[in-house]
Structure 1
């Protein structure tokens, strides 16, 4: 029997910001096309708008997703709908300057990790323009810059908040020490980190720290780039610049282990009238400290499927079944 709350989208506050958003968010890395085999603008806009229609209010993007492509698509999709969403974007991966720490190269040139005050002030204006908005609800340092003191970074972010250009502050791809440094320098409302059944290192130190300090965790890759979607079987072939091609986590042996896990999850999913992917996402946001799950979608169908995960309430028995199956099948997962 379905819980009576299962018709309602789960919502939570981002840290201590007072900003409330759906626990399931739309992540737009794939929409940018880079490392995902290109993008289809019309389908991407449909995915964003379908997410909103299905109750997702948290939209997460970044300049680095296709060097502005994802932000521009998000901006187009939100015309007339901006008031319905909590909009998050990022700073700190730059190509307008070579200050900071070299990170990787696009075809067009080098990208650096740089969180100096000058770059943040420049970047926020570019993002506001591409997104077609005058305020960013949640502004996140994308990758940490070893060349700039966190005090300087937070000074810039706090200034932007005072100016009304951003409403809350987040940091991504951090360590527990980074989080402590941000907290010492100002109000950090959230961190954004990779977390899934196959990557649970946050459980050890980050999650307890964030719970103690009132910092939300926005998890990304909850489906482990599709590995835990129930749709990537042992026979799947990855082509082009798809980052999963050659990724050891997607080895044939691993996909066979995950297939066995999915058999156990399917029992729980069926009891909730849900898919395996929806059940995995629901499990994610019921883990201690994990406040939000950012899920990618490249078309309206995927968006609608992800949104339904926010209406599932797994019981203690459901969680125990899933955890036992994960322990049995994922403990020695390579990659």
Structure 2
């Protein structure tokens, strides 16, 4: 495993981090607790010491399972990353900015973006309880809340750093303009954003800004929720309530399949999977500090960690990039 310094902080994060969205179950067709706990254990045992979760993932379930999985382990050897700013319970519902309608345990509910100081303080205490810890290594705003001043959100994060409840503060899904406004109040450690072979829009402005201002970039959805594994094109079956039925519709699936077929010889020459090749390519892109990779079981977690063993030559990277340029025309 490789480790990289996050922004201007002292945090050293594993280059591939464990993404805990899927083990929350909601939007992913459920989950198996035993397999999920085993996946976290396998990730840690193979050097993937950075775990990224959020209250919204399973409406608290993902954080609870991460807390259970790390119980009894050396907390100082683990970097816990979680988030705040999405609310759904009765006391907060209707406050903030409406995001979307969801379902939990068969009951409909509405999710709002809500990042006031009072709500942040409340959410952090709930996350600490679920995670079974007394500090969070990196706390991140999950989505921008246009009903709350950015300065108020940043002031709350600054207070939490002073109190020792979080080591560093970051954001997710922020534009360059929002980063600039936030940093007028607080120096941010990172911005977690969507980035993949099929989605490289951040390279235009966000990556140059991050490099210039020592802001780490944490890339989520590098596999485009499993599409770039190639399994979807090989009789991969999704459960009826899996959100990816609609998500994959944004892509030209025939062209994606052809692209994966053209780069698969590179993976095969290294006795690696397409998933490992895609992850390794992503870690080598300028400005990318950490790449999140989800896993539902131990086997998948180990395979993700092993992606960093791939040594890609300049010629191989060029081949992949040439094929990507054809795909994105």
Would you say same fold, with TM above 0.5?
Answer: yes
> 1:237: Cα distance to partner?
4.1
The answer (yes or no) to whether the contact 2:227–2:248 under 8 Å persists in 1 is no
Structure 2 residue 324 is the aligned partner of structure 1 residue 331: no
Paired with 1:23 and 1:282, the residues of 2 have a C-alpha distance of 10
Residues 187 and 293 of structure 1: CA distance in aligned 2, closer, same or farther (over 3 Å): same
What is the aligned residue count?
Answer: 321
SS across alignment from 1:103: strand
Structure 2 residue 66 is the aligned partner of structure 1 residue 69: no
SS across alignment from 1:169: strand
Q: Look up the match of 2:83.
A: 90
> 1:235: Cα distance to partner?
4.3
Residues 76 and 114 of structure 1: CA distance in aligned 2, closer, same or farther (over 3 Å): same
1:68-95: CA deviation from partner (whole Å, max 9, x where unpaired) = 0000000000112233211000000012
1:271-297: CA deviation from partner (whole Å, max 9, x where unpaired) = 333211101001001111111110110
Paired with 1:248 and 1:53, the residues of 2 have a C-alpha distance of 32
1:164-206: CA deviation from partner (whole Å, max 9, x where unpaired) = 0000111001111111112221110100000001001001000
The answer (yes or no) to whether the contact 2:2–2:15 under 8 Å persists in 1 is yes
The one of 10, 21, 25 aligned to 1:18: 10
1:112-164: CA deviation from partner (whole Å, max 9, x where unpaired) = 10110000000000000000000000000000000111111010001000100
Residues 301 and 234 of structure 1: CA distance in aligned 2, closer, same or farther (over 3 Å): closer
Q: Look up the match of 1:6.
A: none
Paired with 2:78 and 2:248, the residues of 1 have a C-alpha distance of 36
Of the structure 1 ranges 69-78 and 97-106, higher mean CA displacement relative to structure 2 is found in 97-106
The answer (yes or no) to whether the contact 2:139–2:170 under 8 Å persists in 1 is yes
Q: TM-score, normalised by structure 2?
A: 0.94
Residues 112 and 77 of structure 1: CA distance in aligned 2, closer, same or farther (over 3 Å): same
The one of 295, 306, 314 aligned to 2:293: 295
1:31-66: CA deviation from partner (whole Å, max 9, x where unpaired) = 000000011111100000000111101100000001
Paired with 1:25 and 1:249, the residues of 2 have a C-alpha distance of 27
The answer (yes or no) to whether the contact 2:161–2:167 under 8 Å persists in 1 is yes
Paired with 1:208 and 1:261, the residues of 2 have a C-alpha distance of 27
> 1:232: Cα distance to partner?
1.7
Paired with 1:57 and 1:89, the residues of 2 have a C-alpha distance of 14
Q: Which runs of 4+ in 1 moved over 6 A?
A: none
Paired with 1:187 and 1:315, the residues of 2 have a C-alpha distance of 36
Q: Look up the match of 1:128.
A: 128
Q: Look up the match of 2:306.
A: 308
Of the structure 1 ranges 126-135 and 180-189, higher mean CA displacement relative to structure 2 is found in 180-189
Paired with 1:236 and 1:261, the residues of 2 have a C-alpha distance of 18
Paired with 2:176 and 2:312, the residues of 1 have a C-alpha distance of 29
> 1:102: Cα distance to partner?
1.3
Of the structure 1 ranges 229-238 and 275-284, higher mean CA displacement relative to structure 2 is found in 229-238
The one of 94, 100, 111 aligned to 2:96: 100
Gaps of 5+ in 2: none
Q: In the TM superposition, what are the counterparts of 1:1-335 in structure 2 within 5 Å?
A: 9-81=1-73, 82-95=75-88, 96-97=91-92, 98-106=94-102, 107=107, 109-233=109-233, 235-249=235-249, 254-328=252-326, 330-331=327-328
> 1:318: Cα distance to partner?
1.5
The answer (yes or no) to whether the contact 1:10–1:311 under 8 Å persists in 2 is no
Q: Look up the match of 1:5.
A: none
